[in-house]
Amino acid sequence: QKAEWAKLVNESTISADGYHVELAANIGTPDDVRGVLENGGEGVGLYRTEFLYMGRNQLPTEEEQFEAYRTVLERMEGKPVVVRTLDIGGDKELPYLDLPKEMNPFLGFRALRLCLEMQDMFRTQLRALLRASMYGNLKIMFPMVATLDEFRQAKTILLEEKEKLKSAGSTISDDIEIGIMVEIPSTAVTADLFAKEVDFFSIGTNDLIQYTMAADRMNERVSYLYQPYSPAILRLVKMVIDAAHNEGKWVGMCGEMAGDEVAIPILLGLGLDEFSMSATTILQARSQISKLSRVEVSNVIEQILNMKSAQEVEELIKRKFLT
């Protein structure tokens, strides 16, 4: 099986009935790029920039960040690289920021919320990204967006920094797509409104599932509620994909679900454009997709969305599409 997968390293990802999707990888550091290329990744769908800020005593400088972003973009040689701005808080703490303890860190002052308030830190990251934009195919993504207003604020700040850099003589790409993670239910259910203003969505199912089911993704006691195949989650995913496509925008997924063999047929049937997963899963997913007929899955999507439980969905997928 491994040998069969290895043959797919330089292939594109096409279903048995000729439908094309993109398989990208999630990375945390520039060193991870090697694994992406070795496993035939067609892009980076999520670069988690938190690691630049973690395991140290102060914020990374603009120069340090610029070097990291440039390295990733160069090593990816023009393939798309989606960089997520700082998503700190929740399970990822930064001791040196000295933030007050919170009762519910996952519902608290984190990610974009924190960046919009600690603007010096945010602007430094955005400048580093903008300056790196000439070295590859950069897309910038904001995490934990709950309202359209937050997205607009973040985009305004980004464009301000871009103008400042340009007036100071820097060359900045004019083709940087600006998108958001869809990982909060409020954003999923109003995806039609966001779709008019963003360039793309990436569905973050790790958080979207936890917030939709109100089940902490780290808590074993409630892990039975953490159900990627639940019709509730699948309906949200469908809403997001349809909303984006209505406005001619693309949609990816960068949560664990994107590389899950039971979820993959459903996501293909729903029309997901980009699947971003751990690099080591890419070839297996490419092989799986090459044997799936998108039309055949589409024909049972209606039935799946009307099932009464995640188990029923899982059973149907296993029976019909996994052998």
Q: Which residues bind ligand PEP (CB under 6 A)?
A: 46, 48, 87, 183, 204-207, 254-255
State which of residues 207, 256, 274, 314 lies at the interface with Mg ion (CB under 5 A): 207
State which of residues 204, 231, 265, 269 lies at the interface with Mg ion (CB under 5 A): 204
Q: How far apart are CA 148 and CA 300, in angstroms?
A: 33
Residue for token pair 């993504």: 141
77: which 2 tokens? Answer: 């040689």
Judged by CB under 5 A, which stretch of 5-13, 39-47, 179-187, 291-299 contacts Mg ion?
A: 179-187
CB of residue 76 vs ligand PEP: minimum separation in angstroms? 19
CB of residue 233 vs Mg ion: minimum separation in angstroms? 14
Number of residues in contact with Mg ion under rule CB under 5 A: 3
CB of residue 224 vs ligand PEP: minimum separation in angstroms? 19
Nearest residue to 29 (alpha-carbon basis) of 59, 13, 53, 1: 53
| E-state strands within 10-79 | 13-14, 20-27, 44-48
Give yes or no for residue 265 binding Mg ion (CB under 5 A): no
Q: 3-class DSSP state for residue 86? A: coil
CB of residue 180 vs ligand PEP: minimum separation in angstroms? 12
Nearest residue to 257 (alpha-carbon basis) of 153, 161, 183, 156: 183
Q: How far apart are CA 81 and CA 90, in angstroms?
A: 25
Q: How far apart are CA 244 and CA 19, in angstroms?
A: 18
Q: How far apart are CA 3 and CA 164, in angstroms?
A: 51
CB of residue 244 vs ligand PEP: minimum separation in angstroms? 17
Nearer residue to ligand PEP within complex by CB, 15 or 281: 281
Q: 3-class DSSP state for residue 201? A: strand
Nearer residue to Mg ion within complex by CB, 207 or 260: 207
β-strands 20-27, 13-14: how paired? antiparallel
One character per residue 139-178, x = contact with Mg ion (rule: CB under 5 A): ----------------------------------------
Q: How far apart are CA 316 and CA 70, in angstroms?
A: 45
Q: Which of ligand PEP, Mg ion, none has residue 255 at its interface (CB below 5 to 8 Å by kind)? A: ligand PEP
Q: Which of ligand PEP, Mg ion, none has residue 254 at its interface (CB below 5 to 8 Å by kind)? A: ligand PEP
Nearer residue to ligand PEP within complex by CB, 97 or 307: 97
Cβ contact 247:266 at 8 Å: no
CB of residue 257 vs ligand PEP: minimum separation in angstroms? 8
Residues at the site binding Mg ion, with contacts judged by CB under 5 A: 183, 204, 207
